[in-house]
Structure 1
Amino acid sequence: MESQITLEDKLKERIKELTCLYKVSSLIRNNDFSNIKSLLQEISLSVKKAIRFPDEAFVEIKTDDFTIVEGEKIEDAICIVAALKPFNKIKGAITVGYSKQKFSENAFLNEEKLLLKKVSSEISDFFERKAIKEKEDIAKRQIERAGRLTILGEITAGIAHELNTPLANILGFTELLKERYKEDKIGSEDLEKVINSAIYSREIVKKLMFFSCEMPQQMASININKIIDEAIGLLKPNFKKKNIQYNVSYLNDEIYLKVDRIQLTQVIFNLIINAIYFSPLNGKINIIVEEKSKTIQIKISDEGKGIGTTNSENIFNPFFTTKPVGEGSGLGLSVVHGIIKSHKGTIIHQPNSPKGTIFVVSFPKS
């Protein structure tokens, strides 16, 4: 089927190739990263049209996420291939092929090989820009979230201070009334309910102050392995209730960190209790403590349902909870976030494999 190519044919081929490059550049320039598969389909069709024998050729674009084939793919084929290398790492390839039974290696023009390299370069640049944009979007969301949490911290600190005085008055005067009406059984029971509600409200105020970093800290260098062991010891009934296994792994026998002992205990308690709550019956929780060059990292993983995309940016906000009404105040993780932030640390969450969530807490060693 191959034949000698004339000057006129060469001119026609050059026009096809230039048209293809212009089309590919236009498609990539006008794409907003929303439909990658459609973009690759259009590029493969454009490349197929630019090849010398388009009716006999197939074009395949293969990436980590997609495999696009234009034309009928032939297993026993002669091919030219150009790698897709965003950030100089191979992430796929674009292939053009003919049937070996009908064509020889000479079927491909040098200009077609150059065309394929140019198209692969355009696609690689596109994937680089896509990756950069995704990182920028993530950074922007993190900055916005940090800003929201700062504002929430200021608001909750103000609320906590404003509520402390009236709550103290409610508790004090209710105690006096209880003494006055101690002979009235029904009245005493009602006053006891008022006292319990006020105490519960005071605990929420304390948590708000933790979230806003208003609680005074008593920093000391402590072996955090002991803190975690003590917390797990106290939580053994919780593990037993759901028949949950736990595994604790320390990189070193003693890992010292300058922290507030009580606040660190609260962080560990909250994270483990959450892991137990969301774990299935007979599940497993892993706790790993690692000492790195500049940080000490605590990882707590469960095998629950995991954190959905819609909830991932809200879980550290005060009063946000996915638990049923009455089972959570929505302050546990916000308190954890406030404590860790006051220690100049970070907390992130990521999916566990095959299911569940991993919370990663990092504290600076200095």
Structure 2
Amino acid sequence: MTISPPLHGGRLREAARHFDRPLADWLDLSTGINPCSYPLPPLDVDVWRRLPDDDDALPAIAAHYYGAPPAARVLAVAGSQAAIRTLPRLLPPGRIGIAPLTYSEYAPAWRRAGHEVVPVDLDGIEAALPTLDVLLVVNPNNPTTERVAPGTLLRWREALAAHGGLLLVDEAFMDASPAHSIAAHTGAPGLLVCRSVGKFFGLAGLRAGFALGEPALIDRLAAELGAWAVSGPARAVVAAALADTDWQQAMRDRLQRQQSRLVALLEQHGLKVASTPLFCWCPHPDAPARYHALAQQGILVRCFPALGGHGPSLRFGLPDDASWARLDTGLAHAFSTPGAGAAPLTQG
């Protein structure tokens, strides 16, 4: 079985070639990565010349940051992507429920491992639970921003665990609103939570994240990933970021303001907007052409086709402080002129 690799935002060099525009002349809003990243701390030279220490303080620091209970194990991984790709191989083939429009890495990874992927939307999950071995929930969902309340997720976990099933919750965009996380329940049977450091902290290049869950399953994941899954420098930077509560609170406040500003700007240009603190999602019947009109001005966003009952749509990440006026001008042009041209680079 041949499964095409998913497409993602952030492929700026490809966009530069595709639209014949210099790399330096782009405003990249195609990801949900915080443009105001955590300031890198000075690093001891030993983190560069020694092998990473998987038995350092990072798991304890992460457990405290995420509120994980003593019964849970917290494993540092090379971005939550590492867990996404590896976990399906650890479980016997079964039926996994996944939203039709969500983070696109999940369905191919589970299919490659021999699982049956069952499309389920939020309204259909309750009825589907008895038939599923695994339920995946991206919370808040990427790209649609839909959020499931913690109480509902815990009820689904209980129903799945009753027949040996697993609830897998991807909280990659949860750091800006941690009160909605269920990481504090990851000691319970049938629950695994994935977290990302790259989004909220603006450190996607580190490739660092965490898997939290029952020790038996996390131990199997750790054995499959092997030693030194996260580099020493990355472990040191992540430990500093997770411990810096002052920066975290200031950034949450800032992101709330930036979220409101982006929503207002998009609505000003006639778009219907659903939002999280790190990105906005805008259904639009002419999304591919508007994507193209923005790209012709050097503004890269993410375009999604009609899928799972949703029409075509655009996703906008946050601009940096210097780029709001450019985005305003680009939106005015893209949404006041007739559609044009080629299929979106990041469609899919």
TM exceeds 0.5? Answer: no
Which one has a larger percent helix, Structure 1 or Structure 2?
1
Which one has a larger percent strand, Structure 1 or Structure 2?
1
> Which one has more relative contact order, counting CA pairs under 8 Å at least 6 apart?
2
Normalised by the length of structure 2, the TM-score is 0.23
Flag the structure with larger Rg: 1
Normalised by the length of structure 1, the TM-score is 0.22
